[in-house]
Structure 1
Amino acid sequence: MIKERFATIISLASIFLVALTLVVFVGFIQKDNNLVNTSIKQPDYVYKIFNKDMVSEINIIIDENSWNDLLENAIKEEYYNCDIIINGETFRNVGIRAKGNSSLSMVPNDSTTDRYSFKIKFSEYIKGQSYYGLDKLAFNNNISDATNMKEYLSYEMFEEMGIATPGFAYTSIKVNGEMWGLYLAVEVMEESFIERYFGSIDGNLYKPEGMEMGARGMNMGNPNIKNDDNAMRVDPKNIRIENEESVNPRNFWGPGKGSSGTNLVYTGDDISNYSGIFDNTIFKTTDKKDYNTAIEMMKNLSTGTNLDEFLDVDEILRYFAVNTFLVNLDSYAGSLKHNYYLYERDGKFQILPWDFNLSFAGHEVNNASSAINFPIDNPVSDTMENSPLISKLLEKEEYKKIYHQYLEDLVINYIKSGKYKASISKVNELIKEYVRNDPTAFFTYEQYENSLPILLQFGKDRAESIIAQLNGEQPTTTYGNINTNIDLAALGSMGRGFGNNIPDMNREGMVSLGNFGNNDNRNTIVKAMEIIRDSSSEELTNEQKTKLKELGLNDNQIEEMINIRSRMPVDREGRPQENNNFRPNDERNFPPQQGDMIHDNRIQQNSIDIERLVIPITSILALLLALIPISKLKRRKYITCSPTSLK
């Protein structure tokens, strides 16, 4: 009897050991492919605030004087104390501030609106406080998006492709009980985000930003900056424009330099060369050794060597498949080389998605044909040489094939399957009444309604173009000729927010020369700046305006030139200083479904390093033999704030 019991115990222990070993084995396969670990228990905030089946109700309770001061001084991005009621639960002494890039530029310059994007920091006044594990929460105002869905659908596509994506869901905001507007709540990508996706906060997270916009201008590696919550700012007086010889007609900002290393182009081993990356480090534990790891990655990227060693190639290809479909150029794929995160773990880098209100060709493109026919193998508005994170991968035929497969996967499994159409329909039913009654909306309800059929057609036409490119029926490195009748402007684009401030196009459909003048003449912008430099007053003379019109500028563009002039450095007589580096100011933020997150064909048949399994398996045996209960292996405890704890 004793022998039988002993044999039973041994058998059960063996079964348990085998099962546990398989779990670890599969976990390491997933880690080796850097797929999202869906087995990690999600913190409560994921289900409470990022529930896609509902619009969360938010009420911000704040002193009226503090609220008015916040709106009047939004560009300072300073926190104010408030209480916030989230779906009936009150959280006290929370920090709130304005946030954004394009929205923080456009809103204060528009006397008709105070609709800023906001950031909530739960621990600003109470150390360790969080919203059921969430450190910070962003409320994005849907500026430049008539559909109110661009960012939502973009994140959904990244989820579809198994990319680590911030939580997102709609929320209706009130201020002191008065309706304020419909926003998209987005999880701020910091420690809590990394832990819920990857199981711990190991590694290093960067938000490259070499030219962050805002009402205070752009950071271009200038030492005269303010570091507020990893958001770098610089005085607009330091903005500069490139000389005419360096203007790239396909590049919205002129030469593609990926300010301060954000293009990931290797420029030497000096850490200061990459201030756009390292000045925007998210984790406090990141140090010089970690910086050197990133530089070593860029060095190998520049030569196209050891890419698998330094890059999660599969993840990066999936990211760019989605970004290319979306024609999202307010990103690494654009001239500004921003709005993305770099996550490094064990020396390997991923690129993570962020900020999609200008996706669906809302930035640097407004020609519908160019948007639909955007080339999949030259998927940047900058040069490929200045975009090595994608160009060096596409130089290798085996990687290009995988990238093409992911483009096809997205088209077939998300667009042609009907998911895209169903999502638009579902979201419309969810938010349409909120949009109809939104008192601060940038677009009318009629504009919203009219934009949805165009949004649906965009997906269909873009899918048709991509399939044609994959089949060799259309060029993949230059623009094709798939016909489309979509009204791209009706979706909303970068500008005042109403979709009616559309810049001129060059022959490729890319915005060029800072939105001004005859795009066939690269000297137009330079000549225009020379004209306004001659004035010592804030207003231009009629003669100067006539000269500008002779260059091809219309009244709106002249007005914008005057606004730019007011931001230029001036000499003692009040005239704009001669400077060859001035850049015109421009406006530019639910957990994954278990079954839909990872497609079967997404897991590559990579060889598994058996040596990597020795340590975890040995550790498991040691734990079993030592009879250490599994329950003692604890993950990070979230410091949560609940209604009861606030009493």
Structure 2
Amino acid sequence: MHSQIRPRNPSRKNVSAGAGNTLLPIMRRRIRWQWIALMTALPLLVGAQDSATEHASDSLFGLDRVMEVTLTIEPEEWAKLQPPEGLSMDVGEAFGELIGDAMKGGHMRAEGATRPGLAGYLGVNHQYGKATFEIEGKQVSPIGLRYKGNGTFLEYKEGRIEQRLSFKIDFNEFQEDLSFRGLGKLNLNNNITDPSYLREALSYELFREAGIPCSRVSFARVNLRIPGLMDRQPHGLYSVVEQVDKRFLKHRYGSAKGLLLKPSTFGSFRYLGESWEPYEIGFVPKTTPTEAQKERVIAFARLVGKTADEDFAAELENYLDVDQFLRFLAVNTLLCNLDSFLGNTQNHYVYLEPESDRFQFLPWDMDHSFGSFPLKGSPESRRALNIDHPGGRDHKLIERVLAIPEHKEHYHAILKEYLGTLFEVEKLHRQIDAAAQTVRPLVAINGPKATERFDAILADEPVWWEKHPLKYFVSERHASVSDQLSGMAEGADLEGANLDFKAWIALFITGAVVILMHFAGWIWGMVAGFRSGPLWGFLNLCFYPICPLIYGFAIRRDLGRRAALWAFFWTLALVGVGLWASAMPGK
């Protein structure tokens, strides 16, 4: 059969062309609307995914939440966590170097250390080992596990596996795409300085109630297993603290494009010149800064450190989220949280929020909150901490902000508001009791005396060996702040919040010389006494300086007068040193 060639139908061609011309705009419109719908829905889909991720991590946290956590690590990986063998852990020497850096205007970072803080001065640079993290039956591996902390690491004893130190868990250390319920890192804090195990957790809760972005917290019974060295066994009761990092910023701010800093230097926003390098060391960026962000940090430091009062007041709100700062300051002040931003050194974060291009302050590491930091003041003076000078009169940022009348008035209004809300006595007592009920069943695993200390710090009144119970602090602090706001009390100035290191070193050297001279006088008086007989020799030996004074001025002036004069002079000198020490700030 021959194929037939059909003649072309002009009318058909025209119909097809007409239909194509008609359908093409319709198809374009459909594609355009579908594209618009997709672009509109995409943020919602991403937001839903983020919301689901955050919801998943939410289930890990809460003051009523206690989880079972097991860390499994091989012996060779465990060895990577340990400091170098033979490390002296000479705290006195470390403090000496730290004080030296402070006097030189340096930073809280030892030369050659990979981390800031006291641990670096001790020669400790925490290293990760590869481990497995198991929480309530779910395993995540491989994760990075290392020790963490500065002051809490002072408990380290070489070779003691059972010692309860704080840990940092990094899900990304050995596998970049690994996370757990949307989290990249977690902190397991031992609360070795806090017999209640609650200060930090409760403090974060109060900051959260104040609207300050901060870490979420829960508790965990942590088990440790090192095959061949330690079977799975309870290692201690820990608090679980969310890490402040890019994931945190994205959850709280919707973006991690701002600059996150974790300062570790002597002075809040201390001006270090126009070069970025010293800020890199002292302000410790946790995200990579852009050139504009570097300039912003330097400009704010210049404003705080170098600008006249009138210009400072005019420019402040261009750089600082003042309302957020005053709320952050108010909660710190109520909690008398001195090992923190109030201490003018470390234990806080600063975030340059990208939308407003203004700085915000975030809390961190609050095991010494509730007025418990022992290096500044007494329990009584900390409970009465001056609300207008909570960081001491040398804390330049706080002092300059509160010197502006409208900001001080707003700050006082915030304090008054919080006394009736988040820091209201009965409300906070109930929070303390509820959190205590959560952790009480597990306290005993932290040692034979843990329960006794826990009960003492949760008591309503102090005992001779626990002067600072939580609820007692809250009641007394509330009364003190209320009295200060009403003008009935001035509050206690804890100038030790910013130690005058030169004055303390001068006092130490003077005291050492006086004690040495006293020792020489003791020997001299004893020898002078024995020259007249054993009776006065032994009396001068045992009852210095009283007996040498009696012997030299009344009994045997010929033998003991010069020794008595020596004892008298250096006794007066010792009294003078004592008076000097009692008047020193930071006692």
Specify the SS of the correspondent of 1:155. Answer: helix
Q: Which amino acid aligns with 1:281?
A: P
Partner residue, 1:4:
none
Q: Deviation of residue 67 (structure 1)?
A: 2.9
CA deviation vs aligned residue, 1:409-443 (integer Å, no higher than 9, x gap): 2221123263211111111111111102334x8x5
Question: SS of 2:422's equivalent?
Answer: helix
- Find the residue that maps to 2:251 and give its secondary structure: helix
Q: CA deviation at 1:209?
A: 1.1
The equivalent of 1:48 in structure 2 is 59
1:157 CA drift (Å) = 1.1
> Does 2:93 match 1:88?
no
Residue 300 of structure 1 is matched in structure 2 by 303
CA drift of 1:408 comes to: 1.6
Aligned identity (percent) is 27
Partner of 1:353: 363
Matched, 1:271 2:281: no
* Equivalences for residues 184-583 of structure 1 within 5 A: 184-210=239-265, 258=266, 262-278=267-283, 280-284=284-288, 286-302=289-305, 303=307, 304=312, 305-335=314-344, 337-346=345-354, 347-363=357-373, 364-381=375-392, 383-384=393-394, 386-388=395-397, 390-416=398-424, 418-439=426-447, 444-453=450-459, 454-475=469-490, 478-479=492-493, 523-527=506-510
- Structure 1 residue 361 displacement after superposition: 2.3
Query: Is the contact made by 2:143 and 2:172 (CA closer than 8 Å) also made in structure 1?
Result: yes
Distance verdict in 2 for CA 1:183–1:424, change over 3 Å: same
Tell me if the contact between 1:45 and 1:133 (Cα under 8 Å) persists in the aligned partners. Answer: yes
Q: Supply the distance in 2 between the matched residues of 1:265 and 1:509 (Cα, whole angstroms).
A: 18
| Unmatched runs of 5 consecutive residues or more in structure 2 | 1-39, 41-49, 85-118, 226-231, 460-468, 517-521, 524-543, 545-566, 576-587
Give the superposition deviation at 1:172.
1.0
Cα separation, partners in 2 of 1:50 and 1:393, compared to 1, 3 Å:
same
The 3 A distance-change label for structure 1 pair 154 and 174 is: same
The answer to whether the 8 Å contact 2:425/2:478 transfers is: no
**Alignment partners' CA distance in 2, 1:43 and 1:189:** 14
Instruction: Give the Cα–Cα distance (whole angstroms) in 1 for the partners of residues 53 and 390 of structure 2.
Output: 34
C-alpha change, 1:40 and 1:311, in structure 2 (3 Å) is farther
- CA deviation after TM superposition for structure 1 residue 76, in Å: 3.2
2:218 aligned partner:
169
Helix, strand or coil at the partner of 1:306: helix
Residue pairs, 1:3-14, within 5 angstroms: none
1:462 partner amino acid: R
Q: What do residues 105-140 of structure 1 show as CA deviations (whole Å, max 9, x unaligned)?
A: 343489797221110000111111111211111111
* Greater relative contact order, per chain length (Cα 8 Å cut-off, separation 6+): 1
Question: For 2:83 and 2:167, how far apart are their aligned partners in 1?
Answer: 14
Counting only pairs closer than 5 Å after superposition, residues 17-56 of structure 1 correspond to structure 2 as 43-56=54-67
State the SS of the aligned residue for 2:221.
Answer: strand
Judged with a 3 Å threshold, the aligned counterparts in structure 2 of structure 1 residues 274 and 76 are, in CA distance, closer, same or farther, namely closer
SS in 2 for 1:137: strand
Counterpart for residue 555 of structure 2: none
Matches within 5 A, 1:38-117: 43-67=54-78, 70-71=81-82, 73=84, 75-108=124-157, 114-117=163-166
Distance 2:390 2:81 in 1: 39
Residue identity opposite 2:285 in structure 1: T
Normalised by the size of structure 1, how large is the TM-score?
0.59
**Pairwise CA RMSD of aligned residues?**
3.7
Q: Over residues 447-495 of structure 1, what are the superposed CA-to-partner deviations in whole Å (9 max), with x where a residue is unaligned?
A: 110111221010010000000000111115x55xxxxxxxxxxxxxxxx
For residue 164 of structure 1, give the secondary structure of its aligned residue in structure 2. coil
State the shift of 1:159 in Å.
0.8
Report the Cα distance in structure 1 between the residues aligned to 2:83 and 2:359, rounded to whole angstroms.
40
Output the CA distance in 2 between the equivalents of 1:69 and 1:431.
32
Structure 2 distance, partners of 1:111, 1:91, is: 26
Contact 1:117 1:139 in 2 (8 A): yes
Sort the Cα spacing of 1:417 and 1:329 in 2 relative to 1 into closer, same or farther, 3 A: closer
- Which amino acid in 2 is paired with 1:416? E
Q: Write the letter of the residue equivalent to 2:321.
A: D
Whether the 8 Å CA contact 2:514–2:574 is kept in 1: the answer is no
Cα deviation, residue 552, structure 1: 7.3
Residue-by-residue CA offset, 1:237-290 (whole Å, 9 max, x unaligned): xxxxxxxxxxxxxxxxxxxxx2xxx52133432323434444x11113x13331
Contact map agreement 2:338 2:497 (CA 8 A) in 1: no
CA 1:411/1:183 → structure 2, altered by over 3 Å: closer, same or farther? same
How far the C-alpha of 1:95 sits from its partner, in A, is: 0.6
Q: Is the 8 A contact 1:95 1:124 kept in 2?
A: yes
* Equivalent-residue separation in structure 1 for 2:415 and 2:158 (angstroms): 39
The farther-off stretch of 288-297 and 63-72 is 63-72
| Aligned counterparts of 1:310 and 1:40: Cα–Cα separation in 2 | 31
2:199 corresponding residue in structure 1: 150
Contact 1:415 1:460 in 2 (8 A): no
Structure 2 Cα separation of the partners of residues 523 and 102 of structure 1: 25
Structure number with larger C-alpha Rg = 2
Offset of 1:65 from its aligned partner? Answer: 4.5
User: Which SS does the other structure have where 2:342 is aligned?
Assistant: coil
After superposition, the Cα gap between the structure-2 partners of 1:42 and 1:92, relative to the gap in structure 1 and judged at 3 Å, is closer
Contact 1:513 1:525 in 2 (8 A): no
Sort the Cα spacing of 1:321 and 1:41 in 2 relative to 1 into closer, same or farther, 3 A. Answer: farther
Residue 454 of structure 2 aligns with an amino acid whose one-letter code is: Y
Cα pair 1:78 1:97 within 8 Å, conserved: yes
Please report the TM-score for the alignment, with normalisation by the length of structure 2: 0.65
- CA change 1:431–1:292 in 2 (3 A) is same
The CA deviation at 1:311 is 0.6
Cα distance, 1:41 vs structure 2: 6.5
Rate the CA distance shift 1:370–1:473 in 2: closer, same or farther, 3 A.
Answer: same
Residue 441 of structure 2 aligns to which amino acid in structure 1? E
- Alpha-carbon spacing, 1:526–1:270, altered in 2? closer, same or farther (3 Å): farther
- How far off is 1:150 after superposition? 1.0
Residue identity matched to 1:138 = N
Three-state SS of the structure 2 residue aligned to 1:415 is coil
**Separation of aligned partners in 2, 1:58 and 1:350:** 34
**Is the 2:80–2:129 contact (alpha carbons within 8 Å) kept by the matching residues of 1?**
no
Q: For residues 171 and 531 of structure 1, do their structure 2 counterparts lie closer, same or farther at Cα, with a shift above 3 Å needed?
A: farther
Alignment coverage as a number of residue pairs? 421
CA distance in 2 between counterparts of 1:112 and 1:125 reads 24
Assess, with a 3 A threshold, how the Cα gap between structure 1 residues 267 and 283 changes in structure 2: closer, same or farther.
Answer: closer
CA shift at 1:532, angstroms? 12
- Given that residues 53 and 182 in structure 2 are in contact (C-alpha distance below 8 angstroms), is that contact kept between their aligned partners in structure 1? no
